[in-house]
Amino acid sequence: MKALSPETIGSLKSPLACVVEVYEALGSTQERARELARAGTPHGTLVVARVQTGGRGRLGRPWGSPEGGLWISLVLRPEFRASLASRITQTAAVGVAKALWEIGVEASIKWPNDLLVGGKKICGILAESGTQNIAGRSLDYAVLGVGMNANLDPSDLGVADRKVTTIRFELGHDVDLLELLRALLSNLDAELNRIEDFGAVLEDWRNLNCTLGERVRVRRFGETLEGRAVDLTREGALLLATHRGTVELFEGEIEHLRQGDRTGDSSASGGY
C-alpha cells in the first residue's frame, strides 16, 4: 500500500489535486482549506490529514478522525454560477457513492449527503461556501470536506456501533488509501463537471439513495415534522408528504423512521 504524500497524490494527476498539503496531524482539514481559499489558492487545492484533532461535522458536531480514515478537504472555485453552489452537496454525494461502489462498497445516500451501508454511516460530507474579496472583486469558493471511515474498526470512532461502519468492516480487509483517494477524486471531478446538468446528477442520486419512500422525521424551526420522503425538487430539496400537505426541505438533518417509531408530537403526521 502506498502512503499518502504530496508525491503519491501528485502521481494521480487529478485536476482536484493541483495543490496538495498532507499533514500527520491537523486540527481540521476544513479549517486549513478555508484559510487557503481565503488566501487565494486555486481550484483543486487538496488538504489531507492522517489524524484530525478537531474534525467537525455538520451542525458543528465533532467528527472523530483517528488514524486509518481518509480525512480530506478540497477547495473548489466553481466556473459555474455561484447560484449553483447549493448543488454541490448532492453532486458530491453522488461522486462519493460512486467511488465507494468502485472499490466494492455498496453505499447508499441518505438525504442530503450522508453515505450509509446497511443503515450505518460510512462517510460524511461537509460542503461550505464562502466569498473572498480581492481588490473590491468578490470571488466565490466552496470547501468540500469528506470524511471516510476507511481502515478503522467501528469501535475506534467512539460512537455506538449500530450507527457507524467502516470500509474495513464492510470489505473484510483494508483499502489502499491512495486507490480510495484516486476513485474519490475522479468521481467527484466527473460529477462536479456536470453540475449544470443537475437533472442527470439527481437521476443518479435517486438511483443511489435510501431516503425516498421512507418515513422520516425532521426537526426544524423548533417543531418536529414526520412524513414520507416522496421525491426531490429540480434543485434537490426533499419533498416530504405530511398530513398537513407537502413540505419542501432545503437543508437539515433527517432521521429515517421504522414502523412504530413515531413520537406523539403535535406536528407529527399520521398515516405515513
* Three-class DSSP category at 208: helix
Shortest spacing between CB 73 and ligand BTN, in angstroms: 5
Residue 44 is a binding residue for ligand BTN (CB under 6 A): no
Order of strands, sheet of 19-26, starting from the edge strand that comes earlier in the sequence: 19-26, 45-52, 70-76, 137-148, 120-134, 114-117, 108-110
Instruction: Evaluate whether 156 touches 164 at the Cβ level (below 8 Å).
Output: no
Q: Is the dihedral of CA 67, 70, 71, 72 positive or negative?
A: positive
Q: How far is the CB of 271 from ligand BTN (least distance, A)?
A: 31
Contact indicator for 217, 253 with CB cutoff of 8 Å? no
Query: Which of 71, 111, 141, 205 touches ligand BTN by CB under 6 A?
Result: 71
Up-side HSE of residue 195: CA atoms within 13 Å toward CB? 23
Q: How far is the CB of 242 from ligand BTN (least distance, A)?
A: 25
- When the beta carbons of 110 and 217 are compared against ligand BTN, the nearer one is 110
166 binds ligand BTN (CB under 6 A): no
By CB under 6 A, is residue 165 in contact with ligand BTN?
A: no
| Least Cβ distance, residue 10 to ligand BTN (angstroms) | 20
How many binding residues for ligand BTN (CB under 6 A)?
Answer: 21
* Interface stretch with ligand BTN, choices 50-58, 128-136, 176-184, 197-205 (CB under 6 A): 50-58
Residue with cell 450522508: 114
Q: How far is the CB of 56 from ligand BTN (least distance, A)?
A: 4
Q: How many helices (H) and strands (E) does the chain have?
A: 6, 12
269 binds ligand BTN (CB under 6 A): no
Q: Are strands 238-242 and 215-220 parallel, antiparallel or unpaired?
A: unpaired
Q: Which residues of the chain form contacts with ligand BTN (CB under 6 A)?
A: 28-30, 52, 55-58, 61, 63, 65, 71-73, 114, 124-126, 145-147
